[in-house]
Amino acid sequence: MDGRTHAPRGPRRGREGASPAPRTPLERCRDEYLGHLAVERGLSRNTLDAYRRDLNAYVSYLSERGIDEVDAVARRDIEDFIAARREAGYASSSINRTLSAVKGMHRFLMREGMSGTHPTAGVRYARQDDRLPEYLTIEQATALLDQPFPQTDAGVRDHAILEVLYGCGVRVSELTGLDVGDLYLDDEFLRVTGKGSKERLVPISGTAESALRSYLADARRSLAAHARSGVSAAVFLNARGGRISRQSVHTIVERAGRTVGIEGLHPHILRHSFATHMLAGGADLRVLQEILGHASISTTQVYTHVDRTQLREVYLAAHPRA
């Protein structure tokens, strides 16, 4: 003993068996709101993860300012947080998503009587550039889907994946979530589960239906034979017989695009291409909204701008005085 008095040590953090640090009141409010989103609103896992990341960043920023109580948050704090995100290089769309999460949390806390202030009132969203979605030309889509795929189980599967993404306009999460029981091929429909666990019927026919039937006939059965446990209900399987991941689908799409000279291709471009080509072919906007699973018609209307861009390009190329 050296004779010096030592202050009693609290529980160490980061060690096995250590007690976690107690949550601050603001952290508890954040967790209450995230729980509400998961249970009452039924948001998808991806959307919930995005909200969690945004709110974690928000709460951490306030904590660094010494703010741990929800009613201590002022409008200036939120505006400074948004400014810090902008200075860090975040896109306007990301900043607006973050602000939407923050506004939603404070509205929820007011409604539930957990806060007596609404500091986000009057905080404006960032102005976004009107960027049109990327899409393939019909010639590019044809080259992509008509390329010679290997006549292996994986090759037949990959062809079917690309055909369904472009032929049905589904999101990659909706494609990987498909189960065999969701297929109504005799009626030419798929039942997909979209955002917020909402189900809808999506038409399938032509080469998409043909490629999917070819995959189901032999390749899927062969892939399922590699499963170590029970047979998966998933439509699209990986080499181990389990449900294919979204990341694997991204890799498949990117590789197929590179083969025909399309760099940086990803599944959402195929969804955009489906919508653009449907409108160019005369599809009704409301019907397209239903197929795509958009909650608001305004989301679908972006494709009318794409179509107008195409019309203008044709006009400029064809009119002698343009």
- Structure letter (DSSP) for residue 309: H
What is the pLDDT, as a whole number, of residue 204? Answer: 96
- Distance from the first to the final alpha carbon of the chain: 94
CA 214-255-304 angle, to 5 degrees, is 85
Tell me the one-letter amino acid at 72.
A
| Residue 124 falls inside a structural domain | no
Q: Answer yes or no: do 31 and 147 share one domain.
A: no
pTM score of the predicted model: 0.62
Listed residue (109, 21, 107) closest to 70, CA to CA: 109
Q: Answer yes or no: do 201 and 237 share one domain.
A: yes
Q: Answer yes or no: do 297 and 173 share one domain.
A: yes
What is the pLDDT, as a whole number, of residue 8? Answer: 40
What is the pLDDT, as a whole number, of residue 9? Answer: 42
Q: For residue 62, what is the domain's CATH number?
A: 1.10.150.130
Residues annotated as catalytic are: 171, 195, 268, 271, 294, 303
Tell me the one-letter amino acid at 231.
V
Q: Answer yes or no: do 97 and 150 share one domain.
A: no
SS3 for 199? strand
Is 26 exposed, middle or buried (CB count within 10 Å of its CB: 0-12, 13-18, 19+)? Answer: buried
Tens digit of pLDDT at every position of the chain (322 positions): 444 434 444 444 444 455 566 789 999 999 999 999 888 777 778 888 989 999 999 999 999 999 999 999 999 999 999 989 888 888 887 888 899 999 999 999 999 999 988 898 888 887 755 566 788 999 999 999 999 999 999 999 999 999 999 999 999 999 999 999 999 999 999 999 988 788 999 999 999 999 999 999 999 999 999 988 777 999 999 999 999 999 999 999 999 999 999 999 999 999 999 999 998 888 888 899 999 998 888 788 877 766 666 656 656 666 666 5
Q: Answer yes or no: do 307 and 189 share one domain.
A: yes
Q: Answer yes or no: do 151 and 106 share one domain.
A: no
| Residue 39 falls inside a structural domain | yes
Domain that residue 169 falls in: 138-318
Q: Answer yes or no: do 93 and 148 share one domain.
A: no
Instruction: Write the DSSP assignment of 111-175 as a string of letters.
Output: HTTS-S--TTTTPPPPPPP-PPPP---HHHHHHHHHS---SSHHHHHHHHHHHHHHHH---HHHH
SS3 for 265? coil
| Residue 270 falls inside a structural domain | yes
| Residue 204 falls inside a structural domain | yes
Q: Answer yes or no: do 169 and 277 share one domain.
A: yes
Q: Answer yes or no: do 164 and 248 share one domain.
A: yes
Rounded to 5 degrees, φ, ψ at 66 are 80, 20
